[in-house]
Structure 1
Amino acid sequence: MENLSSSLSPSEWIAITHASDVAAARRIGQRQADALGLDETRSGQLAIIITEAATNILKHAGEGRMLLSTVSHGGQMCVEVLAIDRGPGIANLARAMQDGVSGAGTSGTGLGAMRRLADRFDVYAPAGQGAVLFMRMWGAAAAVPGWRAGGVCLPLAGETASGDAWAVRRHGETVVLMLADGLGHGPEAAKAAAAALRMLGATSTQSPATLMLACNEALRPTRGAALAIAAVDTVGQQLQFAGVGNISASIHAEGGRRQLMSHNGIVGHNMRRVQDLPFACPAGAVVVLASDGIASQWDLDKYPGLAGCEPVLIAAVLLRDHARGRDDACVLVLARMAAS
């Protein structure tokens, strides 16, 4: 379905530890630009963004990683760039965004260039807490809805396929979020998660419980998965939720954090009866789904200003700081955004 976004779209992690990694990241970006059909000018701008972001990691943090992804938002395609490090952060972000200002003795055009060239730029870099930069390049002029979603998946070290996966489907004013965690890790876990995502794309139901039952049948030939599904009525400001297995789901609003309950079981093998559970989801709320590869003791309130950032940037910060490192890890975020 054209309104389906998911982690099955082309994406690649690149470790940035040496100058040669900058060129490697640029080549991957070029492949994605070609696949998206970006013209020579736009491809060149993407190459500059990737170069500046990777170089920024080396200069200021020494090492980090980048995630380059081709993503669909409401049927409109783009390339997204995430640059993630654990360096010193940026003490004065407003000043650092000015051309000619540098903390590394360079010309100081990197952050300014990225912001000018990208269709969407966002950054979260508190002093002493590392930096996460986000850039988006649309394949064509795009009208983006106010409610946006973004996710990040990181395979277990040594694996090329992630057993965790996310997907988002928009239908009218309803946004359906799905996070699947295939049992174990590796290719067989990835197959189970992908089967759930395909079911989301194949059905028009907006009931999480009904969708969960369909996934239970679809996953029987696989090893099974934990699964969380949330359907958000963005006009009525209501959320319906159904979850099976160890996936964290929460709503963050002015009233605090509301944890959503999942039932025990394995989708595809040992699933109890499920039902849609209703929750308020007011304008300004942030909805977070996280696999058990993410430690559960994180607190969004300890990240001042993060809730107002791009959802994929929020997901990247939580994954960077709370991935357990002994399993696949995935975070999916939905939030209302100001126009870019």
Structure 2
Amino acid sequence: MLELDFNQHIQAIAYQIPKKGNDFNGDSFYMKVMDDYFICVVADGLGSGEYAYYSSNAIRQEVKNNYDKEVDVLIDSCNQVLKDKRGATLSILKVNFLQKTFTYSSVGNIQFVLSCPSGRFIYPLPVLGYLSGKPQKYRCETFSYEKGSKFILHTDGIAIPGIKSLVSSASSVEEISNHLEDYTKTGKDDLTYIVGQLF
């Protein structure tokens, strides 16, 4: 499944595919572009199959219903909706176009890297563990970005060698997505990625 979203400030492509043989994808994502900000979430339900989907989709729905909230509020409410579910890892990215900043928070093994045209890389480290409705520490960090910066956000279902080189050298999000296609064919796990460029 491929989804494209854009305005004059951002172009983003999301792609996901379930583990080979599974009807349900244990990963979920949501992204929304507004005039002054962009928000996206990627969630990876523990394990795979139907119950992993229920966990990750609960996060997707929570962000979809409350996309205007701040990242720290969202990640806490996402944790709450996972009570009595299997659990999930997640990353939330919210970009403020007017301030040229983004806020990022992650729990678990979802990876994020942003490359600025100046050669600066931003690679926030996630908090270890996963969300399950139990008390959890979070870390929300805000960074500035440069016009033309590109990013990749992805679950552990796709291994991307040389990710920093790819995100800095590719000329467009389409080129990055085309390059990633070779790494989406193993079928060993659910996978999701979002690639974007900020203008």
* Structure 1 gap ranges (5+): 1-10, 12-68, 75-143
Q: Does 1:314 align with 2:176?
A: yes
For the Cα contact (< 8 Å) 1:265–1:271, is it kept in 2?
A: no
- Superposed, 1:95-106 pairs within 5 Å as none
Per-residue Cα deviation, 1:247-303 (whole angstroms, up to 9, x for no partner): 001111122432111101211245522132011221101121110112253335357
Max radius of gyration: which structure? 1
Aligned to 1:279: 143
The one-letter code matched in structure 1 to 2:183 is D
CA distance in 1, matches of 2:24, 2:171: 29
The one-letter code matched in structure 2 to 1:263 is V
2:20 to 157, 171, 177: 157
User: Closer, same or farther in 2 for the Cα pair 1:304/1:218, shift >3 Å?
Assistant: closer
Q: Does 1:326 align with 2:197?
A: no
- Superposed, 1:198-277 pairs within 5 Å as 198-254=61-117, 255-270=119-134, 272-277=136-141
Per-residue Cα deviation, 1:287-325 (whole angstroms, up to 9, x for no partner): 211101122533353578634243xx5335325336664
RCO comparison, higher one (Cα < 8 Å, 6+): 2
Aligned to 2:38: 175
Aligned CA RMSD, in angstroms, stands at: 2.4
CA distance in 1, matches of 2:140, 2:122: 16
The one-letter code matched in structure 2 to 1:227 is L
* Structure 2 gap ranges (5+): none
2:162 to 273, 294, 298: 298
The one-letter code matched in structure 1 to 2:30 is A
CA distance in 1, matches of 2:156, 2:135: 18
The one-letter code matched in structure 2 to 1:286 is K
CA distance in 1, matches of 2:116, 2:73: 27
Aligned residues: 198
For the Cα contact (< 8 Å) 1:293–1:329, is it kept in 2?
A: yes
Aligned to 1:148: 11
TM-score, with structure 1 as normaliser: 0.53
CA distance in 2, matches of 1:324, 1:270: 34
- Superposed, 1:53-68 pairs within 5 Å as none
State the identity as a percent.
Answer: 22
